[in-house]
Structure 1
Amino acid sequence: MKIVALILLAASLSGCAGQSAIGQKYNYAGASLTLPYTGAPLVVGVQDRRPYIVSHNKSPDFVGLQRAAVGIPYDIHTASGAPLADDMAKTLAGALRGATPVSIGSNLSRADAIRTLHADGKRAVLLTLNEWRSDAYVGATLHYDMEMEALGADGHTLASARIHGSEAVDDTAPHPTGYPGFNAPSAVPRHLEALFGQISPALTQ
């Protein structure tokens, strides 16, 4: 009887943990950036080329996984409900005063993405998300691969920069879910600032 009770207790706890992990959302729309740019207004676009988004295995607002007590993964989505690419485009545009965010479909070719950005004939910034996914269980890890390009008014690449890797996500700050990984969005400013810092000189030449 004790063994049965222990099994039932473990199943109950696992179920509770699973319920807590379901429906988690991370806020990617409110990041504050400091970008070194004072030139003419830009057009900003972010294209989500993550394989599981392009293949439609995940929805565009997918940002990672939260694992319950027994390791079962549950999808995490943006708090805004908007595609991650759109949240990041608005964040970039907000830091570049006067910039215009443009939505770019994940299945567009690179040529079509650039044409979409240059509808107004302005210089542009194109950020490509090849990977952005947090995975939280006992600890939390962020996997990322991002490329940023400075594009001239004619659509030619003026400069580009790329960062990729995996890193532990700071999970020491308190948050309402009690799960690690809640601070994954805090990595956005650091990475976008690093990328933009490498391409910004080309935008003002």
Structure 2
Amino acid sequence: MLLRAILMLCAFSALGGCAFGQKVDYRESTTYLSARSDIPIEVNVIDERPYVVSGSKNPTYVGTLRALYYNPFNVNTLTGDPLSFDLKEAIRRSLAKSSIAAPAAYSTTNANPGQKLLMLKLREWKSDTYMRTRFDYDITASVLDENGKELATKSTKGSGAIKNFLTAGSDALSVVLNSDEIVAAISSTPKQEAPAAPVAFKSTTSYDDCMRRIAKITDPALRVSSMSMCDTAK
């Protein structure tokens, strides 16, 4: 029986949590994002898990570890912060890996001017460990603009055996964050300024005056292309 207990604790440790402290750090559940954006993407996470909303479980709850006689023990966040905080940080780190500025948001209805809001809702997110670990999740990602208009939404849910808490979290987040809908809503490209038109000079301008004006052009490419305008100068 003692050996069985030790094996269970070792298995829990291998899953990415602390066996004796019963903690999981979901801040590390980052994922590669294919989205690209030159504007900041604000991030917020809302915990709508029914047992958290009702108060039967703390917002730090992330799962259950069952002992020898199936006695349940709560598994909580390593940080001591609500799970929503840790997942918000995981998403922000994922965006940062793609060079996207990702300030934490406090609004759930709209983004700040000139930005977009990426919001994740948790309806389920927990593990259950006895001889093996099952991970259940039900999440929805949405992108809102500064006026509160929903630009895209994507939901996913699943339940099954896992080998690593952090990898399972990353995979769940990736399904929604890398969906075509969310990527398209997040992505933007830098605005391209229209090339300046070549400087035109009157034919009455002397060649020397013309070249002096050309020399004042700071853009090298524009300066070279404008030199031909002096050919007609006297």
TM-score, normalised relative to structure 1: 0.75
User: Could you tell me how far apart the structure 2 residues matched to 1:124 and 1:135 are?
Assistant: 32
Residue of structure 1 aligned with 2:168, choices 157, 180, 187: 187
Q: Is residue 35–residue 178 contact of structure 2 (8 Å, CA) maintained in 1? A: no
User: Could you tell me how far apart the structure 2 residues matched to 1:83 and 1:188 are?
Assistant: 15
User: Could you tell me how far apart the structure 1 residues matched to 2:133 and 2:94 are?
Assistant: 28
Aligned residue in 2 for 1:4: none
1:60-105 Cα offsets, whole Å, 9 max, x none, are 11000000001010000011111111001011111213101235xx
Aligned residues: 169
Q: What secondary structure does 2:105 align onto? A: strand
Report sequence identity in percent: 31
Q: Is residue 152–residue 203 contact of structure 1 (8 Å, CA) maintained in 2? A: no
Aligned residue in 2 for 1:36: 34
Aligned residue in 2 for 1:125: 118
- The structural deviation recorded for 1:23 is 3.8
The one-letter code matched in structure 1 to 2:105 is V
The one-letter code matched in structure 2 to 1:204 is S
User: Tell me, which stretches of 5 or more residues in structure 1 are unaligned?
Assistant: 1-9, 104-111, 171-182
Q: Is residue 121–residue 154 contact of structure 1 (8 Å, CA) maintained in 2? A: no
User: Could you tell me how far apart the structure 2 residues matched to 1:46 and 1:121 are?
Assistant: 20
User: Could you tell me how far apart the structure 1 residues matched to 2:59 and 2:109 are?
Assistant: 20
The one-letter code matched in structure 2 to 1:187 is A
Aligned residue in 2 for 1:55: 54
- The structural deviation recorded for 1:46 is 0.5
Name the larger-Rg structure. Answer: 2
User: Could you tell me how far apart the structure 2 residues matched to 1:32 and 1:143 are?
Assistant: 18
1:20-35 pair list within 5 angstroms: 23-35=21-33
User: Could you tell me how far apart the structure 2 residues matched to 1:59 and 1:23 are?
Assistant: 16
Aligned residue in 1 for 2:131: 138
Residue of structure 2 aligned with 1:154, choices 136, 147, 151: 147
Aligned residue in 2 for 1:68: 67
Aligned residue in 2 for 1:82: 81
Residue of structure 2 aligned with 1:165, choices 158, 165, 170: 158
Q: What secondary structure does 2:156 align onto? A: strand
Aligned residue in 1 for 2:226: none
User: Could you tell me how far apart the structure 1 residues matched to 2:146 and 2:171 are?
Assistant: 27
Residue of structure 2 aligned with 1:200, choices 180, 183, 193: 183
Residue of structure 1 aligned with 2:102, choices 92, 99, 102: 99
User: Could you tell me how far apart the structure 2 residues matched to 1:148 and 1:138 are?
Assistant: 32
Q: Given the superposition, is the C-alpha separation of residues 79 and 59 from structure 1 closer, same or farther in structure 2, using an over 3 Å criterion?
A: same
- The structural deviation recorded for 1:204 is 2.8
CA RMSD of aligned residues (A): 2.2
TM-score, normalised relative to structure 2: 0.66
- The structural deviation recorded for 1:31 is 2.4
User: Tell me, which stretches of 5 or more residues in structure 2 are unaligned?
Assistant: 10-18, 189-234
